Chains A and B, each alone.
Chain A
Amino acid sequence: MGIIIASTLSANPASAAPTAYPLTLNNCGVDVTFEKAPERAIALGQNSAEIMLLLGLENHMAGTAFWPSRVLPELAKANEQVKLLSVESPSLEAILTERPDFVAAQLLNLLGPESKIAKREDFANLGIPSYVSPGVCATNHDSGDVHGARTDLWNMDLLYQEITELSQIFDVADRGQQVIADFKAREAALRQRVSGESQDLSIVFWFSSPSPADDAYLGGKNGASGFIADLLGGHNVMQTDVEWPTVSWEGIIATNPGVIVIAELDRNRWELDKPEAKIAFLKSDPAVSQLEAVKNGYIVTMDGQAMNPTIRTIYGAEQVADQLEELGLFK
């Protein structure tokens, strides 16, 4: 064990301090102590898993679960080395069978007091430290809602806190700081790209709809969609605090969005999950097709996972920025 830590350290000259074990962190109101870097970590939730993979921890992971979408392409190879417990929610026995020495979760319904899967005490009783995404406990405290209605615009700070803490837990603080520096640089680059001539684009973020007749399911102004709009020097046309407003097309037309961002989803549950179906609807519906944005062809696609507050958000912002540039909407 000591040898492994020593070797990672020597391979990676330190700029951030190596972790001094035992390490104690306060995570969502619970003190968790680590005697050493975890060797058999379980990541519950795609974002937790992708953060660990970004930190290069595939050899320290015993399993992952709950993947709403496909893994980030650049992490696919590393992810193949880690056992997939379940694309959906795993059972507690399936988790314990892997004999984890650490469990990190993205959502409270995967690991939390009311979870049907596991509670933090289940692991604490076995001496297994657990970790819940700080972003989740922040929303929960504010509103009592597991999935969050925010009164302030989401930003990457809580995500950076999560990356920092996970990198300390695994004694890869350097790598953690590199990842954060990279994300911050990309955030700054995006702001730079739009800073020249701000034209305050009004953007609607359309996640999906069960059918053309149904109300559209949108990204709200304070969630990740609002963050992306803000990063690109624009604003989300939806002005409610609800994180995922469901809005009629009449309501959307009334906001007259300048740009329509449509989500690309891996799932195929709803009729309008696929971007092609969304575009076909936008162009064929008699009323919606009259929107300026549709007539001008200002429709851009984005990975739907970016609309959840995750590491994918920044990737989505870049994806949108590239298309806006091609459309000549950045000068």
Chain B
Amino acid sequence: MTALRQAVREQAGPGLLLLLSTVLLLLAVGAGTGIGEMAIPIDTTFFAVTNRLGWSAVDLDPIHQSVIWDYRLSRSLVAACCGAGLALCGAILQSLLRNALAEPYVLGVSAGASTGAVGIIVLGLGAGSITISAGAFVGAFASFAFVALLSNGARGGAGKTILAGVAASQLFNALTSYIVSTSANAQQARDVMFWLLGSFGGVRWSEFQLILVVVIIGFCVCIYFARALDAFAFGDDAAASLGIPVRTVRIVLFGVTALMTATIVSMVGSIGFVGLVVPHAARFIVGPSHERLLPTCVVGGGIFMVLADIVSRVVLPQQVLPIGVVTALVGVPFFSVILYRTERAR
């Protein structure tokens, strides 16, 4: 592991690393498409994809065709995008806030999304014209706006932002509890819990298009500021002395991470752990430079989430585990190994 780290840091160019990890990501998506509850032969899986891409015209069972293309492939790709987006957000926030524990939900976005979703599920706000996802998105941004106002009013600073995020989370969690405890019935409370834990069950191709666009935009903005993020590691003053417009960069990057997180949370619920841990793992492999770190996070987060989704689908027969449960159960041992090895390497 240490040798690998040395080799990657010193010898492998960013190009080679990117190529290698992209191949790994494609393999993971391939596995996500091939593995599932229904036993589908591997050649059928292959032709189901090539058929829809127009590269082949093999006569297949329509149910197999549909499960592979409409269900598993779209789901794996959405999982990859969500993992990538969450890991990217985590890396950005850890750098901006100079806090190893920062993660995508530190801005209160997840709590706000929950309140929005619960408002739709339980109170029936919008009388069926607003989807749960739309409600969650509005809630996520309301919470982010609250954090932005609060931390700005308190004159910025990384510590203030984290505290504002904690306050927002507490406020919105309290609102959610209030709505659930005063209005929900048991079935609704169950729906809410299921929603909060996250699931890729409802996603299809239209979700993939949206999440792909959002994550690509997010990545482009973040990589554009990669060098500025490197400077943030030495503190705001140091960054300012290097000619970086600290305030502007911070506002833009907070905005982009809030957009990505809100989109992901409103689509698949709040999936923990990925945004916290993948950036640390990535830093361990490629070092702290953001030009390498951010692409590694994107690919690493994608691979991790696709694998976690496979586990969530196959571990219980005929049922799907909430993805958030799997990311933590799979992620913690994985992270423990990294922590342990990092200590030993020092």
On whether A96 and B194 interact (CB within 8 A), knowing A91-B313, A115-B202, A144-B124, the answer reads no
Residues of B within 8 A of A242 (CB): 183
Which of A18-26, A81-89, A150-158 is the interface stretch? A81-89
Q: Judge whether B125 and A244 touch: CB under 8 Å.
A: no
Q: Judge whether B37 and A147 touch: CB under 8 Å.
A: no
Residues of B within 8 A of A91 (CB): 37, 201, 313, 318-320
CB within 8 Å of B: which A221-269 residues: 242-244, 246
Question: In the complex, what distance in Å separates the CA atom of A96 from the CA atom of B70?
Answer: 13
Total contacting residues, chain B, CB less than 8 A = 40
- Checking A89, A97, A99, A246 against B182 with a beta-carbon cut-off of 8 angstroms, the contacting residue is A246
Q: Judge whether B71 and A244 touch: CB under 8 Å.
A: no
Asked if B258 lies at the interface with its beta carbon under 8 angstroms from chain A, I say no
B75 and chain A: residue at smallest CB distance: A92
Measured between C-beta atoms, what is the minimum distance from B186 to chain A in Å?
A: 7
Question: In the complex, what distance in Å separates the CA atom of A86 from the CA atom of B316?
Answer: 10
Q: Judge whether B319 and A88 touch: CB under 8 Å.
A: yes
A115 and chain B: residue at smallest CB distance: B202
Measured between C-beta atoms, what is the minimum distance from A311 to chain B in Å?
A: 18
Asked if A113 lies at the interface with its beta carbon under 8 angstroms from chain B, I say yes
- Mostly, the B contact residues are helix
Question: In the complex, what distance in Å separates the CA atom of A165 from the CA atom of B262?
Answer: 42
Of B66, B122, B131, which is in contact with the most chain A CB atoms at under 10 Å from its CB? B66
Q: Judge whether B71 and A93 touch: CB under 8 Å.
A: yes
Asked if B255 lies at the interface with its beta carbon under 8 angstroms from chain A, I say no
Q: Judge whether A89 and B188 touch: CB under 8 Å.
A: no
B198 and chain A: residue at smallest CB distance: A116
Q: Judge whether B194 and A116 touch: CB under 8 Å.
A: yes
On whether A90 and B319 interact (CB within 8 A), knowing A99-B63, A116-B194, A140-B128, the answer reads yes
Total contacting residues, chain A, CB less than 8 A = 36
B185 and chain A: residue at smallest CB distance: A244
On whether A89 and B125 interact (CB within 8 A), knowing A114-B202, A244-B185, the answer reads no
Measured between C-beta atoms, what is the minimum distance from B266 to chain A in Å?
A: 12
Asked if A164 lies at the interface with its beta carbon under 8 angstroms from chain B, I say no
Q: Judge whether A145 and B37 touch: CB under 8 Å.
A: no
Asked if A189 lies at the interface with its beta carbon under 8 angstroms from chain B, I say no
Question: In the complex, what distance in Å separates the CA atom of A143 from the CA atom of B131?
Answer: 14
Q: Judge whether B37 and A97 touch: CB under 8 Å.
A: yes
Asked if A217 lies at the interface with its beta carbon under 8 angstroms from chain B, I say yes
Measured between C-beta atoms, what is the minimum distance from A274 to chain B in Å?
A: 16
Residues of B within 8 A of A217 (CB): 185-186
Measured between C-beta atoms, what is the minimum distance from B105 to chain A in Å?
A: 21
- Mostly, the A contact residues are loop
Of A116, A126, A217, A243, which is in contact with the most chain B CB atoms at under 10 Å from its CB? A116
Question: In the complex, what distance in Å separates the CA atom of A230 from the CA atom of B277?
Answer: 58
Measured between C-beta atoms, what is the minimum distance from B126 to chain A in Å?
A: 6
CB within 8 Å of B: which A101-133 residues: 109, 113-117, 119, 122, 125-127
Residues of A within 8 A of B201 (CB): 91-92, 115-117
Measured between C-beta atoms, what is the minimum distance from A140 to chain B in Å?
A: 6
Asked if A141 lies at the interface with its beta carbon under 8 angstroms from chain B, I say yes
On whether A116 and B202 interact (CB within 8 A), knowing A145-B124, A147-B187, A149-B124, the answer reads yes
Q: Judge whether B71 and A144 touch: CB under 8 Å.
A: no
Measured between C-beta atoms, what is the minimum distance from A112 to chain B in Å?
A: 10
Asked if B4 lies at the interface with its beta carbon under 8 angstroms from chain A, I say no
Measured between C-beta atoms, what is the minimum distance from A103 to chain B in Å?
A: 13
Measured between C-beta atoms, what is the minimum distance from A246 to chain B in Å?
A: 7
Q: Judge whether B186 and A244 touch: CB under 8 Å.
A: yes
Residues of B within 8 A of A143 (CB): 124, 127
CB within 8 Å of A: which B298-344 residues: 313, 317-320
CB within 8 Å of A: which B203-240 residues: 204
Asked if A30 lies at the interface with its beta carbon under 8 angstroms from chain B, I say no
Asked if A14 lies at the interface with its beta carbon under 8 angstroms from chain B, I say no
On whether A89 and B38 interact (CB within 8 A), knowing A109-B191, A126-B62, A145-B124, the answer reads no
Residues of B within 8 A of A329 (CB): none
Interface string of B156-184 (1 = CB under 8 A from A): 00000000000000000000000001110
Q: Judge whether B38 and A90 touch: CB under 8 Å.
A: no
Measured between C-beta atoms, what is the minimum distance from B343 to chain A in Å?
A: 40
Q: Which residues of B are interface residues toward A (Cβ below 8 A)?
A: 36-38, 62-63, 66-67, 70-71, 120-129, 131-133, 181-183, 185-188, 191, 194, 199, 201-202, 204, 313, 317-320
Other contacts beyond A97-B37, A116-B194, A117-B201: 4, CB < 8 A = A94-B37, A96-B67, A109-B191, A113-B131
Q: Which residues of A are interface residues toward B (Cβ below 8 A)?
A: 85-86, 88-94, 96-97, 99, 109, 113-117, 119, 122, 125-127, 140-141, 143-147, 149, 217, 242-244, 246
19 contacts between A and B (CB under 8 A): A89-B319, A91-B201, A92-B71, A93-B36, A93-B38, A93-B71, A93-B313, A94-B37, A94-B319, A96-B38, A96-B67, A109-B191, A114-B202, A125-B70, A126-B62, A126-B63, A141-B128, A143-B127, A244-B185
